[in-house]
With several copies, the nearest count.
Chain A
């Protein structure tokens, strides 16, 4: 096969599933934060890429029946491991059987893992400041992006409640937090400080991940102001590596696969986020 175009925002993955070991798990407000040792994967997945995860034991069956397929998760942090491979942090929200099972995993348990997959965030447009806008568990990929960008970025995080806003502590002091119920940070939606920021100085590249309604608001805000934005989308996935064509999203160029053509899309590729 011909060598594909170099894709700096896409770190290649080993072509098979492997067994990682859960090294630690803790509750972080409304979320679970689990750390796993990937034995052979690359030490440098790109922010915005993701992994397909499944528990080695207790994945489906019984009266719960599901899950059967693995689930997609962005790494929130990746550290090279001295013994090879990487140590990966994942931030999980329990929304169904897969996230529930993963969230209850403890140290020593086997985690089936494939990745990193997909295309991560691209560098900011020259001469603009990076503006990271996260919502809920969507803050996960922004955390490693934030760490990579150093102190040059601005971080705006929106959560449903204070319990969810506990995830903001991972970002240190720099992040501005809003919650829907005002129980942490200021009350409101994260798009309000974003609009104010962009109206103050539109020389920004926006990086965003969060629920579809938030991403659509971010996209529209940026489009109105001619600001470039990069949106990390979600979609139901079976494979994560382009095999099933199941994860498509409608773009201006037709259906594209979130797992290989994304998950990070430019706002301009999308007429609407649904």
Chain B
């Protein structure tokens, strides 16, 4: 099968920020490569400059899920391209690099810099960030999203996946705007905004005060948004949000996703991606891949 012209061995990816293949290699050695759990590897979101991320605690366990306030720690584009990308290129699966810029110039520099590297098969734009000028959450607003996609579309010939924010009144409208601005595929959902209080002090528990909710608890919300987006767009969809079994994955494919991504479930079991792919195959479901309207 293929996604935006990129050959895939199967329909199960990891969700950005939920699997660090380099760290996992340290823990699991070569066995990780022999039994790599995903059909493509999506990097944690890379920003232009390096980021430390939020202060701990960064995790809170919820009923059937969790909230994180990790805060996008990463080495910045240079550090990523120099140190990490050569390592990731040896995984043996196509690489998708997730990028986030805090303005269009940053985003353009990222797309151009990352897109120029031959190891990179696709780029994912994480638009779940505020516009630094307007304060509007880019991914929640059709016009802002279209502007961001438009600003970078010309900077690479590689497929661009736009990762939608779930905190929008109408995610399908944002999706349509992204498609019209030149996105090759869409991925959703990102985490829902959530919060937890310290059991004793009742002050915010997370170092980032608020965080993002993920896991089985958000699955029904994700499935609804994937359905709504699939009804109004024609480009491929990477569906995610609480997928923990082949049956869940089959639901997302039936709702209109072409491939799925596994996030939180990998925390409970690093082999979850392979297990889910096997369960999906046993159900007779395979990923559908729609051809993007225009392949650039």
Contacts and interface: CB of A to CB of B under 8 A. Distances in A.
Interface in A96-126: 112, 114, 117-118
Nearest to A3: B30
B286 to A, nearest CB: 22
Contacts of B26: 4, 7, 10, 242, 260
Contact of A69 (B32, B66, B274): B66
Contacts of B32: 15
A222 interface: no
Interface in B250-296: 264, 266-271, 274-275
B222 to A, nearest CB: 15
Interface string A223-257: 00000000000011111011111111110001101
B90 interface: yes
B87 A63 contact: no
Given A1-B90, A2-B86, A17-B268, 8 more contacts: A1-B87, A16-B274, A60-B63, A238-B66, A242-B26, A245-B73, A246-B56, A260-B27
A263 interface: no
B32 to A, nearest CB: 5
Chain A interface size band reads 35 or more
Interface of A: 1-2, 4, 7, 10, 12-17, 54, 60-61, 63, 65-70, 112, 114, 117-118, 235-239, 241-250, 254-255, 257, 260
Contacts of B137: none
Interface stretch (B16-24, B125-133, B154-162, B184-192): B16-24
A14 B70 CA distance: 26
Interface string B17-52: 111111111111101110101000000100000001
A248 B20 CA distance: 14
A244 B26 CA distance: 15
Interface of B: 17-29, 31-33, 35, 37, 44, 52-53, 55-59, 61-66, 68, 70, 73, 86-88, 90-91, 215-216, 244-245, 264, 266-271, 274-275
Contacts, number: 143
Contact of B24 (A15, A65, A238): A15
B66 A243 contact: no
A2 B90 contact: yes
Nearest to B86: A2
Contacts of B267: 69, 238-239, 243-244
